[in-house]
Chains A and B, each alone.
Chain A
Amino acid sequence: MGFEDGWKAELRAAEVLKQLQIETLPVDPFAIAKDRGIEIQEDPSLSSGISGCLMKVGDVFGILFSSKFASEGFRRFTVAHELGHYFLDGHVHHLFNNGQYIHKSESGFTSKDQYEREADAFAAALLMPKSLFKAALAKAGSGLAAIESLADNCGTSLTATSIRYAKLSDDPVAVVCSSGDKINFAFMSDSLRKRPDLTWIRKGTGLSAGCATAKFNRDESNVLGCRRATATVDLGDWFTGGHGEVNEEIIGLGEYGRTLTVLWADDLPDPAENEDVPEDEDQMLLPSERFYRKSRY
């Protein structure tokens, strides 16, 4: 889920919520489906690779989702994801192009398919609407404690909530999902992205051996037992180039086999001056803009 795509999904989710006059958390995706006349069925026998599917038989729509997953948040997200396929423009022709009448989804925040990512973005925006989420965020504090309280408010999983938190927080925040010494995915807040001195944490890359998460992951029982750990580390342990103290909070995600790490700080020292950045703001402007400024001021 890049930071540019997903705006369409965000808009559409807001429209749906507005139309149904939903203004409080938690948002109930089952009620939304019911309102649109979509049949929902829970099924324990779906294979574990499929979390849900949207189906069209004649003019009847149905969502079948797996009840294999223990987490209520995951199920709600799955249903919201399928609703994304239902509500988003253009998904009709993509999903049913080859005469298939059934669409199965795998949501895991890392799909390469644009339509899957868009449905994930829709689900996140539906269950954690920007304005409501930001209001709750202001009361929730920061770090893992905030994510847990928000997850509780929104009825969403820790993972989905942490991604939304990183997207909407004004603080420097990064959330990293890892297994073993590998990063499954990572999301950084805008204030971290904007820093020119940091290299971004990328999915598929390795964890640096020195960080607390790498040590945590070495003992599998930490992950399976949903244990926690906290550390105070230097920004440089995670990002090459940065300096400043950040909190590293770690929680094992149990049978999911992954670890969630939240890096956060209330404030970071300003990045060191970089010589490549032009000092004069004028150099960043187009000639026409420069002319406009000169003639104006």
Chain B
Amino acid sequence: MTRASIAGLKKRCPVWHLRFRLHRLYDIVYRLSSMSELFPDRLRAARQLRGFSQSELADKAGLQPSAVSHFETGRRAPSFDNLKVLSDALQVTTDYLLSRVDHPNLTGPVANQLFRHAEKMTESDLDTLTSFAEMLAKKAAKKKED
């Protein structure tokens, strides 16, 4: 939205103008307060660990050249798909990028738990099992609520 059209909005429809401004303010506060603030730093650290420049990483991950810079400044929040391609390109786990673990090769607690019980499973089996386990846990929790 250009400056001129914002001014136009203010004149024509003060309520919408106010909402627009509030929305932007909310957006900024939300970004500062949520855990997404950890992601930019973690991404930068991982990138420097592998010695890539921003554009090199973007190229490897198949993203637009500016995307990495947007992520690292916190201007853009990633999607799961972004996380996946970035973690593949950096050879770190998505959980590391999400600051769930502090080592580039570790994954979060759910997978660890499952590895304990089913070490010989393939990834696809693991996924199936997790879905069942989680689903059952959810159902049990729901029953408890009822």
Contacts and interface: CB of A to CB of B under 8 A. Distances in A.
Interface in A17-52: 36-37, 39, 41, 43, 45-47
Given A58-B108, A59-B94, A102-B138, A85 B80 contact: yes
A263 interface: no
Interface in A50-76: 53-62, 64
A96 interface: yes
Interface string A82-98: 00011111111100110
A286 B35 contact: no
Interface of A is mostly: mixed
Given A41-B131, A86-B80, A87-B79, A57 B35 contact: no
A105 B99 CA distance: 25
B76 A58 contact: no
A85 B124 CA distance: 20
A216 to B, nearest CB: 35
B94 A91 contact: no
B102 interface: no
Contact of A101 (B8, B78, B108, B139): B108
| Chain A: number of interface residues, binned into ranges | 35 or more
Interface in B118-141: 123-124, 126-128, 130-132, 134-135, 138-139
Contacts of B83: 92
A57 B78 contact: no
Interface residues of B, number: 39
Given A58-B107, A93-B34, A286-B8, A41 B79 contact: no
A61 B98 CA distance: 15
A55 B114 CA distance: 14
Interface in B35-61: 35-36, 39
A41 B129 CA distance: 11
A43 B126 CA distance: 16
Contacts of A87: 79-81
B127 A92 contact: no
Nearest to B76: A89
Contacts of A36: 81, 84
A59 B87 CA distance: 9
A290 to B, nearest CB: 12
Interface string B72-98: 000011111111100100000111001
Nearest to A83: B81
B111 interface: yes
B144 interface: no
A12 B114 CA distance: 34
A43 B93 CA distance: 28
Given A39-B124, A58-B94, A92 B130 contact: no
Interface of A: 12, 36-37, 39, 41, 43, 45-47, 53-62, 64, 85-93, 96-97, 101-102, 104, 286
Interface of B: 8, 11-12, 34-36, 39, 76-84, 87, 93-95, 98, 107-108, 110-111, 114, 123-124, 126-128, 130-132, 134-135, 138-139, 142
Given A55-B127, A57-B114, A92-B79, 18 more contacts: A36-B84, A37-B84, A41-B127, A43-B132, A59-B93, A61-B84, A62-B131, A64-B135, A86-B81, A88-B79, A91-B79, A91-B80, A92-B77, A92-B98, A93-B34, A93-B77, A101-B134, A104-B138
